Chains A and B, each alone.
Chain A
């Protein structure tokens, strides 16, 4: 079955370290998204991609970067982790139709100490 997987599921790191969270989907979806979820804020969009070599900033992109070298993967990198980036991170993907269903990965819980 097609799916979307995130790794690691839990990560503890120190401030200032570079961290990369992986997202891999097997639906062959062109659209991929990264969100962070914090209490009281819901799901906020960090970065998104509409295809290979395409990346766009979302509403909370500062301190994060993504790259899209193939259809299946959209890794999220925290260049220099900060305590404010402690959060639960979700990756999602969707097809090439406006407002189409987004399928979410299980999430990565990141703690920056």
Chain B
């Protein structure tokens, strides 16, 4: 079942912060985050594992609450290079495939 992302789109000015949420109706073992810049392939950002572990990438961090079946991506002091579409992906138990959300379009303006 496809995870639900919110918001669908967000526009920021450089230096502002943003939060992107990902929620699932089924139990989660982990959550993956990918970023796709316009016209390019999705690129892996980070994996969040059970236990509420937080990961970081540049000034991007994320949290995972397996009880609430949701993850949040935090973009701090956004840069122009953060613009793109962010996808969360959830694996189905122990298998290898991911189900991706519909994505959140992030636009950072000067």
With an 8 A cutoff between CB atoms, is A16 at the interface? no
* Option from B41, B89, B100, B101 in Cβ contact (under 8 Å) with A106: B41
14 additional A-B pairs beyond A41-B102, A101-B47, beta carbons within 8 Å, are A31-B96, A31-B97, A35-B100, A42-B2, A45-B99, A50-B96, A90-B41, A97-B96, A99-B32, A99-B96, A102-B98, A104-B41, A104-B43, A105-B41
Chain A interface residues (CB < 8 Å from chain B): 31, 33, 35, 40-45, 48, 50, 58-59, 90, 94, 96-107
Q: When A42-B87, A94-B96 are in contact, do A99 and B103 touch as well, CB less than 8 Å? A: no
Question: What is the size category of the interface that chain B forms with chain A?
Answer: 20 to 34
B102 touches A45 (CB 8 A): no
Q: Name the interface residues of B77-101: CB closer than 8 Å to any CB of A.
A: 87, 89, 91, 93-101
Q: When A42-B103, A43-B100 are in contact, do A98 and B95 touch as well, CB less than 8 Å? A: yes
Q: Which residue of A lies closest to B2 (CB)?
A: A42
With an 8 A cutoff between CB atoms, is B65 at the interface? no
Q: Which residue of A lies closest to B30 (CB)?
A: A99
Q: When A42-B87, A42-B103 are in contact, do A99 and B98 touch as well, CB less than 8 Å? A: yes
